[in-house]
Amino acid sequence: MRPDELEPLVARKLADLPVPRAPETLLPRVMAAVAEWTARPWYTRAWLTWPLSLQIASAAALLLFVGAAAFGMTHAALRPAALMTSAAEQVRAAGAAVQTAAAAFEALWRGLVRPVAPYALAIVSMMCAACAACGAALNQIVMGRTAQR
């Protein structure tokens, strides 16, 4: 048989073949599978086969969930900035407290300490000089006795 005869011969012979008959068991199997599928709860089936109202409701719920997740993620992304703002505010508040304390100290210095400060400094200096003189005298006495021994 020539090669160019083969294709039309095969095509003709295969086209002449009768359509194979489905086995008798196919229809009962299909109907049983359909009954089993129908008896299953709707949520165990593929989404595309859900009732339309449930498809719409589930799509809406999904959108809501995605929206909430997106909002949550955005909020979480803003939290560090909020924390930083809070820290800056705390630093600013601490700075203000230090400023207040310094102002109070200055007021106290001006009103109470500075007027008596020279006198206090003179007294402290005299006391230090007295202590030094006493110490030197005491040292002379003690050292002189020791040297005399």
Partner 1 sequence: MTDAEPFEAFVRRYQDMVFATAVRLLGNEADAEDVAQTVFLKAFQRFAQIESSPAAAGWLKAVARNTCLNHLSRYRARLRFFSELGSDRDAMGEEFEASLPSEIAPAPLDERERHEQLEAALRALPDHQRVPLVLFHFEELSYQEIASALGITLAKAKTDIHRGRNALRTLLAGDHAAR
CA–CA distance, 81 with 69 (Å, rounded to integer): 19
Q: How many residues are present in the chain?
A: 149
Rounded (5°) CA angle 109-91-82: 160
Figure out which of the listed residues 19, 76, 77, 147 binds partner 1, where binding follows CB under 8 A: 19
> Is residue 108 a contact point for partner 1 (CB under 8 A)?
no
Least distance (Å) from partner 1 to the CB of residue 17?
6
Task: Please say whether the beta carbons of 10 and 1 come within 8 A.
Answer: no
CB within 8 Å of 7: residues ≥ 6 apart: none
The residue type of 129 is A
**In this complex, which beta carbon is closest to partner 1, that of residue 24 or of residue 80?**
24
> Is residue 15 a contact point for partner 1 (CB under 8 A)?
yes
Using CB under 8 A, which residues numbered 25 to 44 contact partner 1? 25-27, 29-31, 33-35, 37-38
Residues that bind partner 1 (CB under 8 A): 1, 6-7, 9-11, 13-23, 25-27, 29-31, 33-35, 37-38, 45-46, 48-49
